[in-house]
Structure 1
């Protein structure tokens, strides 16, 4: 594949520096903003695949001459590089019940590596096709092993397990998001639980997705939680830090 990355964006442009897409012989993953700019980059990338060229640069003014009226200027860097798991943040979804499965499905097309985690094989078996899943009797170990910048969403069938996982996540200071399904009452109970263990409950988001809607249908909770999660991950990436515990 050829990676096409925006390395400079001046004036009015459809995407900022850092945006990228991956071009294969018959497929494209991601976008640098669409329109003629993107068509030109795809054509150039596929020419590289045919010729074996390893690297190229494109400096494109977004004016009438290419059929775009943004008025800015974009510099693209093209190289032989396919997407890897390291290109996207990890999202650990604990609990393969109705909401957990819906959230994993909502995250599937987004630029994250989402994994649905549970100790119940029968629940994981109901996840949609293509969802990454992990069966484990020790879910807390997954939090300890998570990469810095990862996100943790807790939606298990057991409040005690929820509290254990949330405390484990908040014991770290390098996660970008820690959220738990629940109510104001559950939040208050967890606050007492965590303070008894010397853990600050303030960074925990609970209820999840509540800033958008009070609708309790699993797919709706999943949609708003995915939006909340992506907003936090985007902020963490742009600030080059992990704001969950900052």
Structure 2
């Protein structure tokens, strides 16, 4: 897990100052791993440190801190004696108030190390972790002698979802809570989107959606799910010219056969066309929008696949 400036920026922009609660360390069984975190504000929260009694108590403490103007606290909780939970572990939670000023002080990448309590001198283990992160770009959450060091998440993966129909809504709702994605959601008019667009999703109403293709980063990932086969084809055509990281098209085998022929006629090679995955998701799960969303999410989160289809390595080794 990592500290995610984009999620903080979104939450602070919407709600003002928030309390970030992070599992700095744990001994024995714990609902989540070190580095798992949540953001809490007076009327709500996002993220999770594992749910249940621990999260309920932590959210209440965070809101009390906001009300009292507290900036930082550390809490060590034995889960059994303190909360009556069956797991026999203990967790160390760090609570930190985050606002625009604190956000501006975060590094863009690498490891964010700071003194939370205890001695002022940086422990040797934290200094070594900082050097390793600079040299290798790899880091994990570290809690040592009152110092907390956390990796800062790289910029989120740009995912463009074309179409705000039933499948587009299901996929966006499924992927929006994940920290990996910065989702741009495109359709023809504002009324095509739900009244409540998920956090972390940028709706982009464009009368002619294909005209928005040049706005997408050339390494973005795309899901083409519109109401119109003609628009789907135009989006495939323009994306093949524009460039993309990955792309998937909703449709049947017969739809894709027709699209391949039409894309060839538009001048694209078979190798170029093959970079677009169709169908997307896991056909065996069925055609319900949420079933499609589950299959698409699994494919996007599986490192060993380059398409939007469910990879073969889910049933056999890569």
TM-score using structure 1 length: 0.69
Aligned to 1:228: 295
Q: Report the CA distance between 1:94 and its aligned residue.
A: 1.3
Equivalent pair of 1:3/1:21 in contact (CA under 8 Å): yes
What CA distance in whole angstroms lies between the structure 2 residues aligned with 1:106 and 1:34? 20
Aligned to 2:194: 128
Residue 232 of structure 2 is aligned to residue 162 of structure 1: yes
Q: Report the CA distance between 1:181 and its aligned residue.
A: 1.1
Instruction: Give SS of 2:95's match.
Output: strand
Aligned to 1:94: 162
Instruction: Give SS of 2:283's match.
Output: coil
Instruction: Give SS of 2:62's match.
Output: helix
Equivalent pair of 1:7/1:18 in contact (CA under 8 Å): yes
Matched pairs, number: 228
State how 1:4-43 maps to structure 2 within 5 Å.
4-9=21-26, 11-43=28-60
Equivalent pair of 2:285/2:295 in contact (CA under 8 Å): no
Instruction: Give SS of 1:125's match.
Output: helix
Unpaired segments of 5 or more residues in structure 2? 1-17, 104-153, 309-318
Relative to 1, partners in 2 of residues 1:148 and 1:3: Cα closer, same or farther, differing over 3 Å?
Answer: farther
Aligned Cα root-mean-square deviation (Å): 4.0
Residue deviations 1:29-88 (CA, integer Å, cap 9, x gap): 332112221133223312321332223333434334431122334333322237x9x997
Aligned to 1:187: 256
State how 1:186-205 maps to structure 2 within 5 Å.
186-191=255-260, 193=263, 197-198=268-269, 199-205=271-277
State how 1:43-122 maps to structure 2 within 5 Å.
43-81=60-98, 91-97=159-165, 99-100=167-168, 102-103=169-170, 106-107=173-174, 110-111=177-178, 114-119=183-188, 121=189
Equivalent pair of 2:24/2:34 in contact (CA under 8 Å): yes
What CA distance in whole angstroms lies between the structure 2 residues aligned with 1:126 and 1:191? 29
Unpaired segments of 5 or more residues in structure 1? none
Q: Report the CA distance between 1:187 and its aligned residue.
A: 2.7
